[in-house]
Amino acid sequence: MNPSTTVIAGDYLRDLLDQPAALADTQAMLRTQSFPAEIPRRLAQSGFDRVVLTGMGSSLHALQPLRLRLAAAGHAPFLIETSELVHALPALVTARTLLIMVSQSGASAETVRLLEQAPSGCYRVGVTNTPGSPLAQSAQAVVFTRAGHEGSVACKTYLTALVALDWLGATLLGEDIGRTQDDLGRLDRTVAGRLEDWAGQVAAWQAEIRGARCLFLAGRGVSLATVGSGGLILKESSHFPAEGLSSAAFRHGPFEMLGPDVALVVLAGAASSIPLNRRLAQDSAKAGGKVVLLDPEAPQPAFRIPQVADRLLPVVEMLPVQMLSLALAALAGREAGRFEHGSKVTTIE
């Protein structure tokens, strides 16, 4: 099967190929972005009772690197799905809470409900792609992305949210913004280079996963963003059974499912976790699974992760997962990313 003829073009493919431009536009926005100095100052002086990070779907997963970054700095943030925050844990948000909300539309049902429920005095920081949205209008501070219109499953809005959240993390913790912007400024070129041979990458994925009936993604640390969002977009864009979880969690049960019809994609991840994740890939291959290791030293270009700062790995790790979504959809004869039962913005809780 030749993917250059079997990948059905549509909004999703166009959005994928537009990602370098979206990243460049977002980086330009961040170079002019202002942010209230009061927030990092209060955070440094323990002026908030807690920090709560929230979103739905890929917006929630995109917050994983910021969660780890804040925790490493001693702030112990809560990472909670917005719906659960609204219905199960509303008391967690108080008048002294720093609430960081991510929503590409800024108008999902759960986001609007949380904005209505948040008590007066709660400091709301929004990350969104949509000026004029309820989130943009209600937050005391807003970090905008410039992904442009996205007609299908979250891809360029997800990558630009990762970039905006990296900038936000550096700002909140008083880190060197110039260095942060230098790191971010190289990403659009890295992503553009990776997408040049997208059809060849789809072909490589088809060769590896043909015959699989289900798929797992596993990773550690910042790569939890990729496996979480990856599992979601594979189901949403390709209608293929997929689950993302930590590498350790995969060993605690799902490892027993391995066989010739079960695929496992392992992310080598940050330098400190590479040996553990490579061993998981080796052990899973010995157990008979279809295993692909996304690694900076992978022999096949389709599975090779570009060198970036560890905290930015989720941006480049998602690219091969996106190509995998195209491969799975093509094998099934479907247009990747085409909504059949839902819509881009979820308006029902």
CATH of the domain spanning 16-189 = 3.40.50.10490
Report the alpha-carbon angle 172-177-182, nearest 5.
140
Give ranges for CATH 3.40.50.10490 in the chain: 16-189, 197-331
> Contact, 52 vs 77, CB < 8 A?
yes
Q: Can you give the pLDDT at residue 8?
A: 74
**One-letter amino acid identity for 251?**
R
Give the DSSP per-residue string, 55-70: ESTHHHHTTHHHHHHH
- Topology of 197-331 in CATH? Rossmann fold (3.40.50)
Residue 144's beta-bridge partner residues? 128
Q: What is the pLDDT along the chain (349 residues), one digit of tens a residue?
A: 344 448 877 899 999 999 999 999 999 999 999 999 999 999 999 999 999 999 999 999 999 999 999 999 999 999 999 999 999 999 999 999 999 999 999 999 999 999 999 999 999 999 999 999 999 999 999 999 999 998 888 999 999 999 999 999 999 999 999 999 999 989 999 999 999 999 999 999 999 999 999 999 999 999 999 999 999 999 999 999 999 999 999 999 999 999 999 999 999 999 999 999 999 999 999 999 999 999 999 999 999 999 999 999 999 999 999 999 999 999 999 988 776 655 545 555 5
Write phi, then psi, for 23 (nearest 5 degrees): -65, -45
DSSP category for residue 119: P
CA count, 13 A, side-chain hemisphere, 195: 22
- Is there a contact between 135 and 107 (Cβ–Cβ < 8 Å)? yes
Taking the C-alpha atoms of residue 139 and residue 143, their distance in angstroms, rounded to an integer, is 10
Asked if 335 and 8 count as a contact pair (C-beta separation under 8 A), the reply is yes
Assigned token pair, 291: 């295993």
Per-residue pLDDT at 152? 85
Cα within 13 Å of Cα(139), Cβ side: 29
Structure-token pair, residue 273: 């976790």
**Pairing status of strand 214-219 against strand 262-267:** parallel
Give residue 347's pLDDT: 54
CA distance 4 to 338: 19
Q: What gap in Å lies between CA 29 and CA 185, rounded to an integer?
A: 11
